[in-house]
Amino acid sequence: MNPRRVVLMAAAAIGLVVVALAASPAAGAATARARRVTALSVNTNPNVNAKITFKGTVTRGTPSHSAVRLQIHATSGWRTVATCYTGSGARFACSVVDTWAGRYSFRAVAIARPGYKPAISPSRAVAAWRVAKATVTTSGPVLLTAATGATATLAGKVSPFRAGATAQLQRLQPAAGSTPAAWKAVANVKIASNGTFSSATNAVAAGTTANFRWYVPAVGSASYLRAAASGAIAVVSYASTTATITSGDQALPVGSNSTAIAGTVSPFAAGTAVSLQRLNGTVWTTVSGTAVTGDGTFEADTNVIADNSSAQFRFVVDANATAKLRQAVSGATTVTVGDPAPPGPPSCSNCPTISSATVTGTTTRTLTITGTNLFDPNTGAYTIMLGATAIPGSVLFMTNTLTAAVPSVMPAGVVDVVVVTNAGTSNTVLVSIPQLVTVPVFSGTWLTASGQSQLGPDYVVVPGGSDTATVTVVAQDATSYSVAVAAGDLSGNNMATTGPNSFAAATPLPPGVTLNALTGVMSGAWPATGGEWKVTVTAANATASSTKTVLVVVKATSPLGTGTPPVAMNGYPGSCQSPSDDVCNELAVNLALQSEGYEPVFQASAAPTFQ
């Protein structure tokens, strides 16, 4: 039944009782017994949606099963929300579930019955609270591994919440003597409009662990939100370490453009990674790496330092999770090659200046430089020094964005970049060159059986009726493949291991002939009647493929001539001194094919004689 309907019906019943009482004769009222009702709530601060039970007693011998109504005070007055009945000793218990947070007043009303007057208990206040849940949203444990810094930033959230209320970051103070462990406030922050908050911890000493949590105090009259405490999160502060460069500053002669730098760290864990970094403007850039040895020392080589210049280097020793050791950063050391120019402004007004330099791409690596005065003001000429490699620029290239191809022989790594013009030399910038990725690309160059390159359309001639002649698609290297013929005394080529590893024919082969998909060999019983077939072959490997069409000419087994002008073979005339001169007949076909633009794959050993 609808609860609102129940309330209204209950209210109507009370109204009826009131009317009946008013209409009773005075004599009846005089004989009715006065009563008193007491009502006490079991829990005056329940959670929302929890059952609230009021227990009480109706005095002066009220019979059992006498009705008692539980009422709540609303804006329109008192309304009945539950009805219960007295039991033994005139005791009763009425329950209700409060689905709204807030503070409410309740009372119990004993309904009048013959011989007994109605009675109303004093009101009782009950506050229904919403349960809040607080959580730490930062993943834990939090590890403090940097060379400096002993604090962590911890974030959290609470739901439900009131924006602007306080969230408190607390730290667990360990028990000391008779003092038990306790949570102590570290910081107070405001809850954001989405229920989140964050704050930095206080300092956690190196080599120790501290536990933190978020605590959201209760919010009373405004929202009736209970206090909420999150679970704990550990902040682990690794032990401090100290890295030192032991090799000191170095001065090298011109031409000695690299050196070794040594260092040590304490405390240490053998095998910990170490990076050697070089100062590039205001940014430290890693140029090489090594590891901590069994005695806590290490050594690494610098990258190339240009002649008559200097560079600063430092070591960074990684944090070690197993040993719980922090990262360590050494001081800087200077390496000088030759006699560098004194510091200060450029000696010329138009000296080139590099603002940025990057290398992009892996299969084709492109260097891009931006800056000012990057070209000669008169000719536009410039030279890029990429490490020790000079890359001359185009004359009349008057722009302040330069591009150049990184030489394929240059290994991956970090190198110096400077721009040189007639006006002077720019500042030095470090650039990281990625590893060159070589992708095999088949150029489609077809080669003769003897390995000589042929241009234009290609063809091969195969003796008809043979079951031993083969045509082979041959990979000479990673960037080309070829067709070769093996028939009689002609020897074919083996497929190179660095080239394609699969072959396919997109057009029909001569009847009786197949293409081996793994070796690229066309073989079978070549048709004795002869003919010609344009065969499109695709050679491929895992990274590239190429397609080429070759004309396969199968010569008939019958003679091409009978003493008169030879019989045409597939439209190609021939004329030889002897009807049985196979060499002449073959060359006649070859010459006819060449007249139409085809190039022979192999040549016969004798020259033909024509009538």
CA distance 155 to 189: 11
For residue 244, pLDDT over 90 is answered with: yes
CB 264 within 8 A of CB 244: yes
CA distance 30 to 24: 10
Residue 467's pLDDT is 72
**What mean pLDDT comes out for the span 559-576?**
36
pLDDT band at 588 (very low <50, low <70, confident <90, very high): low
Q: Over the stretch 280-294, which tens digit does the pLDDT of each residue have?
A: 888 888 999 999 999
Work out the angle at residue 463's Cα, subtended by the Cα atoms of residues 458 and 464, and round it to the nearest 5 degrees.
115
CA distance 569 to 527: 14
Please count the residues of the chain. Answer: 611
Query: Strand pairing of 250-252 and 283-291?
Result: unpaired
**Beta-bridge partners for 237:** 144
- Spatial neighbors of 27 by CB under 8 A, at least 6 apart, are none
CA 48 to chain centre: 44
The tokens describing 238, both together, are: 């690794």
**Beta-bridge partners for 335:** 250, 311
381 or 563, higher pLDDT: 381
Work out the angle at residue 67's Cα, subtended by the Cα atoms of residues 66 and 73, and round it to the nearest 5 degrees.
145
CA distance 315 to 246: 11
> Which residue, 172, 151, 174, 163, is CA-closest to 215?
172
For residue 211, pLDDT over 90 is answered with: yes
For residue 153, pLDDT over 80 is answered with: yes
The tokens describing 395, both together, are: 């004359």
Q: Which of 259-273, 276-290, 424-438 has the lowest mean pLDDT?
A: 424-438
Residue 382's pLDDT is 84
Q: Over the stretch 156-183, which tens digit does the pLDDT of each residue have?
A: 999 999 999 999 999 999 998 899 999 9
Share above pLDDT 70 across residues of the chain, in percent, rounded to a whole number: 74
**What mean pLDDT comes out for the span 354-381?**
84
Q: Which of 12-26, 192-206, 520-534, 547-561 has the lowest mean pLDDT?
A: 12-26
Could you give the strand order of the β-sheet that contains 196-200, starting from the edge strand earlier in sequence? 133-136, 153-159, 196-200
Residue 544's pLDDT is 60
For residue 84, pLDDT over 80 is answered with: yes
394 or 25, higher pLDDT: 394
607 or 234, higher pLDDT: 234
Residue 341's pLDDT is 65
Q: Over the stretch 314-343, which tens digit does the pLDDT of each residue have?
A: 999 999 988 899 999 999 999 998 887 655
pLDDT band at 447 (very low <50, low <70, confident <90, very high): very low
DSSP state of 456: S
For residue 475, pLDDT over 50 is answered with: no
For residue 60, pLDDT over 70 is answered with: yes
- Spatial neighbors of 123 by CB under 8 A, at least 6 apart, are 73, 105, 106, 107
For residue 229, pLDDT over 60 is answered with: yes
Q: Which of 46-60, 158-172, 404-418, 587-601 has the lowest mean pLDDT?
A: 587-601
Q: Over the stretch 500-527, which tens digit does the pLDDT of each residue have?
A: 677 788 888 888 888 888 777 788 888 8
Residue 476's pLDDT is 39
Residue 181's pLDDT is 93
Query: Cβ atoms within 10 A of the Cβ of 597, count?
Result: 8
CA distance 54 to 183: 37
For residue 426, pLDDT over 60 is answered with: yes
**What mean pLDDT comes out for the span 335-359?**
77
Whether the model clears a pTM of 0.75, i.e. scores above it, the answer is no
396 or 194, higher pLDDT: 194
Residue 553 falls in which region: left (phi positive, over 0), alpha (psi -120 to 50) or beta: beta
For residue 230, pLDDT over 90 is answered with: yes
For residue 606, pLDDT over 50 is answered with: no
Among 71-75, 261-265, 372-376, 422-426, which range has the highest average pLDDT?
261-265
Residue 421's pLDDT is 83
Residue 92's pLDDT is 92
CA distance 428 to 417: 6
For residue 564, pLDDT over 70 is answered with: no
For residue 188, pLDDT over 60 is answered with: yes
CA distance 48 to 124: 17
**Mean pLDDT, the chain, as a whole number?**
76
Among 96-110, 151-165, 567-581, which range has the highest average pLDDT?
151-165
CA distance 435 to 433: 7
For residue 249, pLDDT over 80 is answered with: yes
Residue type for position 97: V
Residue 18's pLDDT is 27
- Spatial neighbors of 484 by CB under 8 A, at least 6 apart, are 447, 448, 449, 471, 472, 474, 492, 493, 601
CB 409 within 8 A of CB 365: no
CA distance 301 to 258: 7
Strands (E) in 191-340, as ranges, are: 196-200, 209-216, 228-229, 233-237, 242-245, 250-252, 260-266, 273-280, 283-291, 297-301, 309-317, 328-329, 333-337
Share above pLDDT 90 across residues of the chain, in percent, rounded to a whole number: 31
240 or 468, higher pLDDT: 240
11 or 345, higher pLDDT: 345
Q: Over the stretch 40-54, which tens digit does the pLDDT of each residue have?
A: 777 888 898 988 899
Q: Over the stretch 485-499, which tens digit does the pLDDT of each residue have?
A: 333 222 223 333 345
Q: Which of 127-141, 391-405, 453-467, 557-571 has the lowest mean pLDDT?
A: 557-571
CA 56 to chain centre: 66
Residue 537's pLDDT is 78
Residue 543's pLDDT is 59
CB 505 within 8 A of CB 551: no
